[in-house]
């Protein structure tokens, strides 16, 4: 987890573009809608019992676990044992799927006379690296395993795919620009959940473990994984997640998403708030633990979530099975925070309500607990993000029926019907025989966008309407070409693009403008230029971290920025059709690179498009804009083929190509 400074959108002094303000209002509105809907359909225990299995299936899907991977042999290998007076630690690894290695330490009390209760401890982000060698976060959290073993529990502490001995990636979108994770519906949370489920399989295979008394806990990232494991696997009989969850308001509006890597979140296809995750533990014993000044798990979000989950426990008649423990402090692994968790497991797995008399302390060096001497040659752990999701192969032609699935799974945040666009003219200028006009419309509540129109002055009936979505370079060319004609009207656009409106206009630019004007005057067509949200007039502050964290917020709302930009193009088409001049003329769309993909997606869901013209259409899902889950169902080539069944498609040559 990146413990960076957490800020809400628009809070920092440099984040003051119109786009930043629009996005902040939009996120707040969307978050309120999802929070209001969270568990609202559950009014009775009957409602819950009717829906809980589907909720659990949806969560598996959002973690990339529907269907679950095959339960292949675990191939458990013990590489060594470390002795303590009261317990021993078995250093082991297993394969949750072939090549997906998990390293762990199994803490076993000595002198067991009967099968013991067991704890699966899942680790947070505690790097232990010495001289370039990774020892795994299991060594950072060893004091927890030691405490459980000294108190009669078998405890399996497992490494995560990031910060383990085999180090994979948790920061795909956070740090590495792997936006295709969204397209593939991939989250490392799903891998961590699967590794935990298989860890329970391992515990159940041990004859000294009581299979009916297994609990799960962990803090920070481990707190989050505790949630996934406890909600998906009912073999967990008691759970105590520590500092691993809060609500959407904290994440999206207050900005704490900026302090969390990708492993903390499901791909939110079904647009849940987090109380719906937590409620799936009910009615099993669940203790939610947090501190009162945790900057990345704020207490107000924890209490809002607890209130919602408490209602579900009350419906079960088991309010005593839900607990909330708040201790003083920030985001740290404090002794005060551990004691309530220890008490919880003693009570619910051992029937022991006595006082805690031993402290959790570290007993070994990291070197003593290391599993591998040599990393396995066939490991997939470090690159599991490339193969864990199940995606469309591209070997067959896509069935048009897939569009219904894509509409639901990739673009579920789009409005379900026509919306009020509130189309209004912003300004109009006639220059050199050409009419220029700008129109504003609402693509969604709080997302007001502008389209620019040019055509021959006095044109009564156009032969065609062209809507162009330029790339950034094309937008700057457009602004410069129009600068001599109406600089005053779009001063804000010029300012955002960093164009000096007062600078002399080069002769070449004037010549280009003259050619453009001549072209428009001689062709009885309408030319619309449009930039979707986050570009053009709604451009975000050009700070890479700010843009990254803005894009990550969309996924938490069950969207992506690119998906909503494709909606903006659809709404631009609808707004254009509302203009009398453009209501029934043949319509062509133009897109380039990123916008070529947006245009194609829009054409899949819009009727009456005569042709789409595309340059630099993306070749694969790592190059295309990220649309939630879309790679599970279709490749970019298959999307293009589907578009060809609905309209004409022209692939343009690259600029400068002969």
Given a cut of 80, whether residue 656 has pLDDT beyond it is no
Q: Which pLDDT band holds residue 8 (cuts at 50, 70, 90)?
A: low
Cα–Cα nearest to 221, from 180, 185, 258, 262: 262
Residues 406, 367 share a domain:
no
DSSP 8-state secondary structure symbol assigned to residue 6: P
Asked whether residue 32 is domain-assigned, the answer is: no
Last residue of a domain, one of 332, 361, 386: 386
Residues 343, 473 share a domain:
no
Q: What tokens were used for 144?
A: 């927890």
Residues 194, 141 share a domain:
yes
pTM for the full model? 0.95
Asked whether residue 539 is domain-assigned, the answer is: yes
Residues 343, 434 share a domain:
no
What integer is the mean pLDDT of 147-164? 97
Asked whether residue 29 is domain-assigned, the answer is: no
Task: Report the alpha-carbon distance of residue 141 to residue 155 in Å, rounded.
Answer: 12
pLDDT digits (tens, 9 = 90+) for 304-352: 999 999 999 999 999 999 999 999 999 999 899 999 999 999 999 999 9
pLDDT at 527: 97
Q: What tokens were used for 184?
A: 């593939």
pLDDT at 486: 76
284, 239 contact by CB (below 8 A): yes
Q: Is the peptide bond before 283 cis (omega within 30 degrees of 0)?
A: yes
Q: 506: alpha, beta or left, given left = phi > 0 and alpha = psi -120 to 50?
A: beta
pLDDT digits (tens, 9 = 90+) for 428-471: 999 889 999 999 999 999 999 999 999 999 999 999 999 999 99
Last residue of a domain, one of 386, 412, 437: 386
pLDDT digits (tens, 9 = 90+) for 390-427: 899 888 888 999 999 999 999 999 998 888 999 999 99
Residue whose pair of structure tokens reads 């939610």 in the numeric block: 288
Q: Total structural domains in the chain?
A: 2
Residues 498, 607 share a domain:
yes
Q: Which pLDDT band holds residue 658 (cuts at 50, 70, 90)?
A: low
Asked whether residue 33 is domain-assigned, the answer is: no
621, 605 contact by CB (below 8 A): no
**Count of helices and strands (H, E) across the chain:** 20, 19
296, 3 contact by CB (below 8 A): yes
pLDDT at 16: 79
The side-by-side arrangement of strands in the sheet containing 322-327 is 77-83, 87-97, 100-109, 154-158, 116-122, 209-219, 236-242, 286-291, 322-327
Task: Report the alpha-carbon distance of residue 210 to residue 112 in Å, rounded.
Answer: 12
Last residue of a domain, one of 386, 415, 431: 386
Q: In which domain, by residue range, is 47 found?
A: 39-371+380-386
Residue 175: count of CB within 10 angstroms of its CB = 14
Task: Report the alpha-carbon distance of residue 445 to residue 162 in Å, rounded.
Answer: 39
* DSSP three-state, residue 133: strand
What integer is the mean pLDDT of 222-248? 97
What does the mean pLDDT of the chain come to? 94
pLDDT at 398: 83
597, 591 contact by CB (below 8 A): yes
pLDDT at 485: 74
pLDDT at 9: 54
pLDDT at 15: 54
Residues 439, 367 share a domain:
no
Measured in whole angstroms, the distance separating CA 564 from the mean position of its chain's CA atoms is 14
Residues 191, 328 share a domain:
yes
CATH code: domain of residue 530: 3.40.50.1820
pLDDT digits (tens, 9 = 90+) for 544-561: 999 999 999 999 999 999
Asked whether residue 455 is domain-assigned, the answer is: yes
Q: Which pLDDT band holds residue 2 (cuts at 50, 70, 90)?
A: very low
pLDDT at 238: 98
Asked whether residue 163 is domain-assigned, the answer is: yes
**Which spans in 38-151 are helix H?**
45-62, 137-140, 142-150
Residues 507, 603 share a domain:
yes
Residues 499, 551 share a domain:
yes
Asked whether residue 392 is domain-assigned, the answer is: no
Asked whether residue 658 is domain-assigned, the answer is: no
pLDDT digits (tens, 9 = 90+) for 102-129: 999 999 999 899 999 999 999 999 999 9
Burial of 117 (0-12, 13-18, 19+ CB in 10 A): buried
Burial of 339 (0-12, 13-18, 19+ CB in 10 A): middle
Given a cut of 70, whether residue 22 has pLDDT beyond it is yes
Residues 312, 420 share a domain:
no
What integer is the mean pLDDT of 561-571? 98
Residues 104, 152 share a domain:
yes
Q: Report percent pLDDT > 70 for the chain.
A: 97
Q: Which pLDDT band holds residue 236 (cuts at 50, 70, 90)?
A: very high
DSSP 8-state secondary structure symbol assigned to residue 401: T
Residues 482, 336 share a domain:
no
């Amino acid at each position: 987890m990146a413990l960076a400074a957490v800020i809400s959108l628009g809070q920092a002094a440099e984040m003051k573009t119109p786009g930043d303000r629009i996005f902040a209002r939009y996120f707040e509105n969307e978050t309120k809608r999802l929070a209001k809907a969270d568990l609202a359909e559950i009014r009775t225990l009957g409602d819950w019992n009717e829906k809980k299995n589907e909720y659990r299936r949806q969560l598996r899907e959002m973690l990339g676990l529907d269907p679950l991977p095959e339960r292949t042999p675990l191939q458990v290998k013990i590489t060594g044992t470390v002795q303590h007076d009261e317990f021993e630690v078995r250093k082991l690894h297993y394969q949750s799927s072939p090549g997906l290695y998990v390293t762990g330490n199994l803490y076993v009390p000595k002198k067991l006379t009967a099968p013991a209760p067991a704890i699966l401890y899942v680790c947070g982000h505690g790097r232990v690296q010495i001289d370039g060698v990774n020892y795994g976060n299991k060594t950072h959290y060893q004091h927890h395993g030691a405490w459980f073993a000294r108190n009669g529990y078998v405890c399996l502490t497992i490494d995560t795919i990031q910060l383990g001995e085999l180090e994979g990636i948790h920061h795909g979108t956070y740090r590495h620009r792997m936006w295709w994770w969204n397209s593939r519906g991939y989250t490392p949370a799903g891998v961590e959940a699967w590794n935990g489920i298989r860890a329970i399989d391992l515990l159940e295979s041990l004859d000294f473990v009581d299979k009916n008394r297994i609990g799960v806990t962990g803090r920070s990232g481990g707190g989050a994984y505790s949630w996934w494991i406890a909600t998906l696997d009912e073999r967990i009989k008691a759970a105590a997640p520590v500092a691993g969850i809060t609500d959407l308001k904290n994440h999206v509006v207050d900005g704490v998403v900026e302090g969390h890597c990708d492993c903390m979140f499901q791909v939110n296809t079904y647009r849940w708030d987090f109380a719906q995750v937590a409620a799936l533990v009910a009615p099993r014993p669940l203790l939610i633990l947090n501190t009162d000044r945790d900057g990345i798990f704020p207490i107000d979000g924890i209490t809002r979530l607890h209130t919602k989950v408490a209602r579900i426990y009350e419906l079960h008649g088991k309010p005593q099975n839900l607990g909330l423990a708040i201790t003083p402090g920030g985001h740290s692994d404090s002794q005060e925070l551990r004691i309530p968790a220890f008490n919880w497991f003693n009570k619910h797995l051992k029937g022991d309500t006595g006082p805690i008399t031993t402290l959790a302390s570290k007993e070994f060096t990291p070197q003593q607990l290391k599993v591998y001497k040599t990393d396995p040659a066939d490991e997939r752990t470090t690159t599991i993000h490339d193969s864990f999701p199940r995606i469309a192969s591209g070997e067959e032609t896509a069935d048009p029926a897939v569009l219904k699935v894509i509409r639901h799974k990739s673009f579920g945040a789009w409005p379900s019907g026509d919306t009020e666009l509130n189309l209004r003219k912003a300004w109009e200028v006639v220059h050199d025989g050409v009419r220029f006009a700008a129109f504003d419309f609402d693509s969604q509540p709080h997302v007001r966008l502008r389209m620019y129109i040019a055509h021959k002055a006095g044109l009564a009936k156009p032969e065609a309407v062209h809507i162009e979505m330029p790339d950034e370079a094309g937008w700057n060319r457009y602004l410069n070409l129009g600068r001599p004609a109406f600089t005053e009207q779009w001063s804000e656009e010029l300012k955002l693009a960093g164009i000096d409106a007062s600078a002399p206009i080069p002769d070449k630019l004037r010549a280009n403008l003259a050619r453009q004007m001549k072209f428009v005057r001689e062709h009885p067509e309408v030319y619309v230029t449009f930039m979707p949200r986050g570009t053009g007039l709604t451009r975000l502050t050009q700070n890479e971290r700010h843009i990254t964290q803005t894009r990550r917020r969309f996924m938490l709302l069950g969207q992506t920025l690119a998906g909503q930009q494709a909606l903006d193009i659809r709404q631009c088409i609808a707004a254009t059709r509302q203009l009398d001049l453009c209501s029934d003329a043949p319509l062509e769309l133009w897109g380039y690179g990123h916008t070529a993909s947006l245009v194609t997606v829009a054409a899949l869901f819009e009727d009456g498009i005569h042709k789409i013209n595309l340059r630099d259409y993306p070749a694969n899902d790592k190059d295309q804009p990220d649309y939630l889950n879309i790679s599970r169902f279709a490749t970019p080539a298959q999307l293009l083929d589907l578009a060809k069944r609905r309209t004409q498609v022209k692939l343009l040559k690259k600029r400068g190509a002969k």
